[in-house]
Structure 1
């Protein structure tokens, strides 16, 4: 990384401060129930399982690491704002990954939502994914992009 001048440094500080303000406004950590739960709350183990499954889906679709990281961020941001039922967790996670792919991936890599659903072997329909897209976009005010750990790694390396 080159050594920035004074003007570049002050610009960088301004950008970082703006990013911190935006992050404070957007980010709340999701709270999960510990252990097994019968109600509508998602447990931390269910969350961990769906993240691992999401990684498998990302690998299956040949998505870049940035897409996976953004998909997890979208999922966590949604789970921090709504109370989701465990039976919808995979659909929410899958849709979060699809939305992240629409931001980060080339159109040729993504394919259609129908193709992704078929390729994944999931039990939900294309209509359910499209409906869930709308819900996620509405709940997150159409503001999906947040900086991820992968973005940070790219900045400092």
Structure 2
């Protein structure tokens, strides 16, 4: 007779190993050197401001914590992959959150890109956001989803 707890334990081990392997393959963070992101003119202070602003936007749009975590992950992966200029940082951050919402949120929660821009108080046009979406998707090879700490919590709970 098989012990069901052993099967559940093996399944949990498999899920955690798969999530860790995916994270190791995809997770990138910007490298800060002399107070700014290596290869870019974005300071660690500007980066931190964007993370805090993304949290505010995520709360304003009533997104799930998973969406915020994924948005930060997309932003960090992009900043570690390309030379971004500070003048585009807010647009990159906002678009990262929008892409994360498209992956994690129910369609009823996300409004249109135009509605999100208006709610955020940003001066981006819908065309700028859509153009930035294409750039991010291209640079990250259309593979946006990475394991977040929230995913690990869901696996073990």
* TM-score when normalising by structure 2: 0.87
RMSD (Å), alpha carbons: 2.1
- The alpha carbon displacement at 1:4 in A equals 5.7
Aligned to 2:56: 56
CA distance in 2: counterparts of 1:24 and 1:107, whole angstroms: 30
CA distance in 1: counterparts of 2:14 and 2:156, whole angstroms: 17
Aligned to 1:141: 141
Aligned to 1:47: 47
CA distance in 2: counterparts of 1:34 and 1:129, whole angstroms: 31
Aligned pair in 2 of structure 1 residues 63, 119: CA closer, same or farther (>3 Å)?
same
The count of corresponding residues between Structure 1 and Structure 2 is: 154
CA distance in 1: counterparts of 2:29 and 2:115, whole angstroms: 32
CA distance in 2: counterparts of 1:119 and 1:55, whole angstroms: 14
Instruction: Structure 2: give runs of 5+ residues left out of the alignment.
Output: none
Q: The residue matched to 2:84 in structure 1 has which SS?
A: coil
- The alpha carbon displacement at 1:140 in A equals 1.2
- The alpha carbon displacement at 1:5 in A equals 2.5
Aligned pair in 2 of structure 1 residues 81, 4: CA closer, same or farther (>3 Å)?
farther
- The alpha carbon displacement at 1:33 in A equals 4.0
Instruction: Structure 1: give runs of 5+ residues left out of the alignment.
Output: none
Aligned pair in 2 of structure 1 residues 6, 61: CA closer, same or farther (>3 Å)?
same
* TM-score when normalising by structure 1: 0.87
CA distance in 2: counterparts of 1:79 and 1:4, whole angstroms: 45
- The alpha carbon displacement at 1:136 in A equals 0.8
Residue 86 in 1 paired to residue 86 in 2?
A: yes
For CA contacts below 8 A with separation 6 or more, give which structure has more relative contact order.
2
- The alpha carbon displacement at 1:36 in A equals 6.9
Alpha carbons 2:75, 2:92 under 8 Å: kept: yes
Aligned to 1:101: 101
